[in-house]
Structure 1
């Protein structure tokens, strides 16, 4: 159900306003219809009371009119006012009794029912005797009538009977309300649409700007303040925030560049000086330590620069790139094998992706003694799998392995695990390409851990 609802702020607000408006107008229509019915009912009963009161007065007069005497004579020959198969209506009888009492008519018997004109003996007799009335009966013969009868209590005088057509519910008022609803909807929703557009348009532009800045971290293309005052203040605050972030990043790059330069120079000098050490064992240890520091420094500087790459994206055949990295390890005699490898072309930064693959393969060799690499397509993703047969990683420690300087071996020796920046750098490179890096333990037939699988997933843009 929720998939059919609008996702944007503009659509959700407009839908909420439309539903609230139609709900309010719907309730108004129901209340109006009920009030109309009650008003018609009151008018009907008042008209019946007036007619009945007039009939009683006419009967007390000696000079009643001739046509009224004929109608009463007809009614005396008819059946009682309420037929055996008809149902009396106590509510209307009570209303009629109260109205007559207000006009001084008391101590009377009252009977009220609803009847179809074609079932009323008096109307049928009138139609038979008055042809002109019968010719005009098509307009009212199918409208139900209210039959009300009254006579003084304790007397055998004939019933005074009044027949009134029951007014049918008119939908003109509801139609007017519906028209009013449509006009109100057009005016209200149209005005709100203009206001919301002034809010959502700069908001959408600001969202695009945030996405752009997250990728490039460049200050070019900052938004000009637009929209309502609150939105303008938000854009100005965001522009200042971008400037501060860019300044901090520039300071970081300058600092890291200085650190790299200041450290690499003395390290190069140390390489030269250790050549004068006569003990070959000590000289080898010193060289290994210097090399370890140099690699760690390269990892730190690469991790710092990964968010701000200088080389552009280039269309690259991912299978060929993966195979070339595997060949590097095969040439060194490392137990690295290439499995299924599909042909997938993607816009990537080849240098950075090679670095990520080397880090993952090196980790697999370091902890699992071998590495199996494969490349396949899963829906709209290219998935590079690096699997080993090592001890795996405990589920509780899986997320921690992506943190800088975290590794399974407590040692920091390059031969047993290095500084713990390989996975961190590989994940940062994957995210730089809009992808992700995930780790999962391999299980054997008995459900025991028999290795680790690193999945590097990159989106395929059609």
Structure 2
């Protein structure tokens, strides 16, 4: 159901108003129809009651003035009979009977018996004989309200103390199509005026919002303040754009300060470390010299990771079309050349626009973790649901389910020590996740389960959109 609904604010607002209008007009039409039906029924009942109470002796004249027609026209309205007008197979209408009874009772009529029923005009012998006796011209009949193809309402009254039935007839009006046409035209006019006006108003709001969304995406990718939006639309939207422009400027200034600070850190820390690396060569004790060299190397690697993590959100190198399967194979080959037990699994040729240096760094971090905490990592590449999926699976103890999410946070490690044999500062997974997100993708960790449901390893999965 949701896929058929509009996704934009404009479409959802217009759909909501259109549905509300439709519901309101439908309810209005129903109430109007019921009111019209009630008015028509009351009119019919009052007409029958008037005829039965007044027993009018009205003589209707044709335009030619022929006197022999006067009595016949009168008899088409009122009939006096010795029997009830109900024919075999016909039944009285209880609702109309109740309403007519109330009207006649209010007029002081003493009712012995009363019937109300409907009947096709063509089945009523009294009317048909009268129409033929008057004139065969159907226009004359229709002018008096009778339609031989329609229905009529009949009321028979027998007063207390009388033997005769007084029978009144009134034609039932046909469907009033004009009434429905009026409701439809009214609905269309309301739709044009209200929905059209709402569309114009919403466009003034949503157009600047759409431009603002595009601007935010551009700023998120480039971090450049050039091309900021001019405030437009209603006052609230203009204030929002103004506030966003100010926020962009502050963010850009902070990023610039961060870059300056990182440059200073890289220069001021790496230079002394390089000097220390030279000075330790003068240490005579080989064991102490080796420990000092490893410490300096750990500090240098941690510093590289920290600087890389800080710069990953603002890369300087552009996206380039790269054959991802070849990149994955080259990284695996590097480890094979170093004698590491890393296997290249199934791969599919997939070309993407990416930053090869950064993605290579992410793969090295993940494969390095798999070698450090597990065994025999297998790297594969597949295309699934519009994404390129890189999996690094190992044979190791895995990670407790409650700690999987925290392992992607900075300085979180599965092993508490900081020695060279088990790892560095705990930034490898965090950096790999940041690189995946930089390319519009994701990094997830999950335990691999064996046939018995036990953990047999860990799988790290990088998913990158194919249209990136």
TM-score by length of 1: 0.91
Distance in 1 (alpha carbons) for counterparts of 2:172 and 2:345: 89
- Structure 2 residue corresponding to 1:193, chosen from 183, 195, 199: 199
| Contact 2:392-2:459 at 8 Å conserved across structures | yes
| Contact 1:128-1:134 at 8 Å conserved across structures | no
| Contact 1:110-1:150 at 8 Å conserved across structures | yes
Aligned position for 1:81: 85
Alignment of 1:177-192 (within 5 A): 177-192=183-198
| Contact 1:32-1:174 at 8 Å conserved across structures | no
Alpha-carbon offset, residue 350 of structure 1 = 1.2
Aligned position for 1:54: 54
Distance in 2 (alpha carbons) for counterparts of 1:287 and 1:5: 64
- Structure 2 residue corresponding to 1:259, chosen from 257, 260, 265: 265
1:218 aligns with 2:224: yes
Query: 1:159 and 1:386, CA in 2 relative to 1: closer, same or farther beyond 3 A?
Result: closer
- Bigger shift: residues 396-405 or 84-93: 84-93
1:324 aligns with 2:330: yes
Alpha-carbon offset, residue 104 of structure 1 = 5.1
Aligned position for 2:5: 5
Alignment of 1:233-272 (within 5 A): 233-272=239-278
Distance in 2 (alpha carbons) for counterparts of 1:270 and 1:135: 120
Aligned position for 2:66: none
SS in 1 for 2:126: helix
| Contact 1:18-1:189 at 8 Å conserved across structures | yes
- Structure 2 residue corresponding to 1:364, chosen from 359, 366, 370: 370
Alignment of 1:424-439 (within 5 A): 424-439=430-445
Residue by residue over 1:137-166, the C-alpha shift from the partner in whole angstroms, topping out at 9 and shown as x without a partner, is: 58611221222233431233x222221112
SS in 1 for 2:352: strand
Distance in 1 (alpha carbons) for counterparts of 2:337 and 2:72: 125
Aligned position for 1:153: 160
- Structure 2 residue corresponding to 1:421, chosen from 427, 438, 443: 427
Distance in 1 (alpha carbons) for counterparts of 2:70 and 2:303: 124
- Structure 1 residue corresponding to 2:171, chosen from 165, 170, 175: 165
Distance in 2 (alpha carbons) for counterparts of 1:134 and 1:234: 74
SS in 2 for 1:162: strand
1:444 aligns with 2:450: yes
1:388 aligns with 2:394: yes
Query: 1:257 and 1:101, CA in 2 relative to 1: closer, same or farther beyond 3 A?
Result: same
Aligned position for 1:14: 14
SS in 1 for 2:448: strand
Residue by residue over 1:367-407, the C-alpha shift from the partner in whole angstroms, topping out at 9 and shown as x without a partner, is: 22433222232232222222222222111111111111111
| Contact 1:78-1:121 at 8 Å conserved across structures | no
How large is the Cα RMSD of the aligned pairs?
A: 2.6
Query: 1:203 and 1:77, CA in 2 relative to 1: closer, same or farther beyond 3 A?
Result: closer
| Contact 1:56-1:160 at 8 Å conserved across structures | no
TM-score by length of 2: 0.90
Alpha-carbon offset, residue 196 of structure 1 = 0.4
Distance in 2 (alpha carbons) for counterparts of 1:5 and 1:263: 57
Query: 1:283 and 1:40, CA in 2 relative to 1: closer, same or farther beyond 3 A?
Result: same
Distance in 1 (alpha carbons) for counterparts of 2:219 and 2:453: 46
Query: 1:38 and 1:272, CA in 2 relative to 1: closer, same or farther beyond 3 A?
Result: same
Alpha-carbon offset, residue 182 of structure 1 = 0.4
Aligned position for 1:61: none
| Contact 2:412-2:426 at 8 Å conserved across structures | yes
Alpha-carbon offset, residue 112 of structure 1 = 2.5
Q: Structure 2 regions of 5+ residues with no counterpart?
A: 59-68
Aligned position for 1:132: 136
Distance in 1 (alpha carbons) for counterparts of 2:364 and 2:263: 24
Aligned position for 1:375: 381
Q: How many positions carry a matched residue from both structures?
A: 454
- Structure 2 residue corresponding to 1:412, chosen from 409, 415, 418: 418
Distance in 2 (alpha carbons) for counterparts of 1:239 and 1:112: 79
Distance in 2 (alpha carbons) for counterparts of 1:454 and 1:36: 72
SS in 2 for 1:442: strand
Residue by residue over 1:150-209, the C-alpha shift from the partner in whole angstroms, topping out at 9 and shown as x without a partner, is: 3431233x2222211122342322221110110110011000000000011111111111
SS in 1 for 2:346: strand
Query: 1:311 and 1:53, CA in 2 relative to 1: closer, same or farther beyond 3 A?
Result: same
Distance in 1 (alpha carbons) for counterparts of 2:23 and 2:54: 47
- Structure 2 residue corresponding to 1:144, chosen from 151, 154, 168: 151
Aligned position for 2:36: 36
SS in 1 for 2:419: coil
| Contact 1:202-1:231 at 8 Å conserved across structures | yes
